[in-house]
Amino acid sequence: MGKSTGFLEYERVEEPAISPLKRINNFNEFHIHLSKEERAKQGARCMDCGVPFCQSGMTIKGMTSGCPLNNLIPEWNDLVYQENYEMAYKRLHKTSNFPEFTCRVCPGLCEKACTCSLNGDAVTTKANEMAIIEYAYEHGLADAKPPKQRTGKTVAVVGSGPAGLAVADQLNRRGHSVTVYERNDNVGGLLRYGIPNMKLEKQIIDRKIHVMEQEGVSFIVNANVGADIKASELTAKYDAVVLCCGASEPRDIDGAGRKDAKGIYFAVDFLTSTTKCLWNNNMTLVDGQYISAKDKDVIIIGGGDTGNDCVGTAIRHGCKSVTQLEMMPKAPDERAESNPWPQWPLVCKTDYGQEEAIAKFGHDPRLYTTTVKEFKTDKSGNLKSVVLVALQSQVDKKTGRKLMVPVEGTEKEVKCQLCLIAAGFLGAEKYVVDAFKVKVDGRTNVASKEGGFATSTAKVFAAGDMHTGQSLVVKAIRNGRDCAKEVDEYLMGYTNL
């Protein structure tokens, strides 16, 4: 280790963020990069500990601890300290196809398992990763490197989210000819339309797609396989087909008035409309081209990352007020004794959207143990208010499961002209499943043998959220890499992936 006492000498320094009241005036990424000298100090803080939990990707009590990609984090942290960015990129790229995505949108499972965080602050691993990949692009290290030989095998990948892109990238490196089908008008899946621009600017996606195209991957957009394109066409044309269509069935809310009220949208539709409008109009919002929160009282049902993204987006629209509902109680501010390191910390975090709401409106937008009981409309059917109700934990006597149930007498009516449902996703879309005649499990995810990716239909595989259920971008990438290995072995009889 180049600086064995770095963690004792240097404090954690995060990349400064543009102040909330300034950054809400646009949809740009808002962190300012540190100097190369300061970044070297942050790399020096890595302890090169005997057991690097940061790269373990273990499951502890049903939660992931450390990087699911098993990134060689201590190695490239040390190389950042030495300012050897070329070698750092080679070590990073060995395990990660898309560090330009994960360094921006991953919740940082590596940092939560960092040994430095046991008695202090974690190493700035995500920011170090960004420094490496951006250096690589600036200095030509991440330029296209087409495979020197082709195998003659062809693969169709349906869906261009992180799992689909990982499958395509890996199999193309192996020398197979890969075509990616995307039903939307642009490549990227939820990377493009489910994650707001201020977290992941879309030119970052396009930069990588351009490299993949130069390396030989073909992309076909506006191609809705299972609807406009028959599944039988792909299975006849290609040696293997990989389904990576995501978990795209959003959970709905069953409240009185839900079906009739105008002004209720799923979060993904709200976020997609904003991104498309910005991209089509030189990063400017144009009235009538997106679902607008301007001058509206906004209620967001869902306390997760997507709900937070809706908060930040609604504020940038110019909403009158914003409230985010969370069914569960507020998590503790610090780890409980029952949740020790290196487990994922079950603590309350205030994300960028909530920070912006606090700065804009003077209070945290979140209401805990609360949901919507009823939607009320005006004479024209437009949403005008919602009735909120408090929830309490209760054990189901039949199943033993804990449920959050409404508390009678706690109802409260509040103004609301726009309600966004950010309650997660259920599983694979039925028309795709039916088209390929693949079996699903009890959660409507595409079924396969444990640890495998082959479906019940010959030469058809599945990866990503469609296979595992809704999860993280970094896990989808890992799932895609593992699937590509199995597909390669199926095509060639062995694999070197």
**481-491 pLDDT, tens digit each:** 999 999 999 99
Q: What is the pLDDT of residues 247-303, one digit of tens each?
A: 988 999 989 999 999 999 999 999 999 999 999 999 999 999 999 999 999 999 999
As a CATH number, domain 264-421 is: 3.50.50.60
DSSP helix, strand, coil percent of the chain (3-state; round to 5): 35, 20, 45
What pLDDT was estimated at residue 1?
64
Q: Is residue 279 classed exposed, middle or buried when 0-12, 13-18 and 19+ CB atoms within 10 A define those classes?
A: middle
What pLDDT was estimated at residue 248?
84
In the beta sheet, which residues pair with residue 64?
59
Domain limits, CATH 3.50.50.60, in the chain:
154-248+429-492, 264-421
Main-chain phi, psi angles of 401, to 5 degrees: -80, 150
> Which residues have a Cβ under 8 Å from the Cβ of 71 and sit 6 or more positions away?
55, 92, 95, 96, 110, 129
Banded model confidence at residue 427, pLDDT cuts 50, 70, 90: confident
Q: What is the pLDDT of residues 331-345, one digit of tens each?
A: 999 999 999 999 999
Banded model confidence at residue 3, pLDDT cuts 50, 70, 90: confident
Across 310-335, average pLDDT: 97
Whether domain 6-138 has CATH 1.10.1060.10: the reply is yes
Tokens of 85: 């960015």
Distance CA 75, CA 9 (A): 20
How many Cα atoms sit within 13 Å of 270 on the Cβ side? 29
Q: What is the pLDDT of residues 37-96, one digit of tens each?
A: 999 999 999 998 889 999 999 999 999 999 999 999 999 999 999 999 999 999 999 999
What pLDDT was estimated at residue 339?
95
119: pLDDT strictly greater than 90: no
188: pLDDT strictly greater than 90: yes
373: pLDDT strictly greater than 90: yes
Q: Which CATH architecture describes the domain 154-248+429-492?
A: 3-Layer(bba) Sandwich (3.50)
Alpha-helix residue ranges (DSSP H) falling in 99-176: 99-105, 109-112, 125-138, 162-174
What pLDDT was estimated at residue 342?
94
Domain limits, CATH 1.10.1060.10, in the chain:
6-138
> Do the bridges between strand 383-395 and strand 412-415 make them parallel or antiparallel, or are there none, so unpaired?
antiparallel
123: pLDDT strictly greater than 80: yes
Q: What is the pLDDT of residues 130-156, one digit of tens each?
A: 999 999 999 999 999 999 999 999 999
Average pLDDT along the chain = 96
Main-chain phi, psi angles of 153, to 5 degrees: -90, 145
What pLDDT was estimated at residue 6?
93
Percent of the chain with pLDDT over 70: 100
Sign for the CA dihedral angle at 172, 490, 101, 7 comes to negative
What is the three-class DSSP state of 241? strand
Across 381-397, average pLDDT: 95
Q: What is the pLDDT of residues 201-257, one digit of tens each?
A: 999 999 999 999 999 999 999 999 999 999 999 999 999 999 999 998 899 998 999
Alpha-helix residue ranges (DSSP H) falling in 85-124: 85-95, 99-105, 109-112
Buried-state track 327-351, b at ≥16 Cβ within 10 A, e below 16: eeeebeeeeeeebebbbbbeeeeeb
Which one, of 197, 206, 464, 419, lies nearest residue 309 by Cα?
A: 197
Tokens of 228: 């406009």
160: pLDDT strictly greater than 70: yes
Banded model confidence at residue 352, pLDDT cuts 50, 70, 90: very high
How many Cα atoms sit within 13 Å of 324 on the Cβ side? 31
What pLDDT was estimated at residue 94?
97
* Amino acid (1-letter code) at residue 155: V
Reported pTM: 0.96
Please provide the DSSP assignment of 363-412 as one string: S--EEESEEEEEEEE-TTSBEEEEEEEEEEEEE-TTT--EEEEE-TT--E
What pLDDT was estimated at residue 298?
98
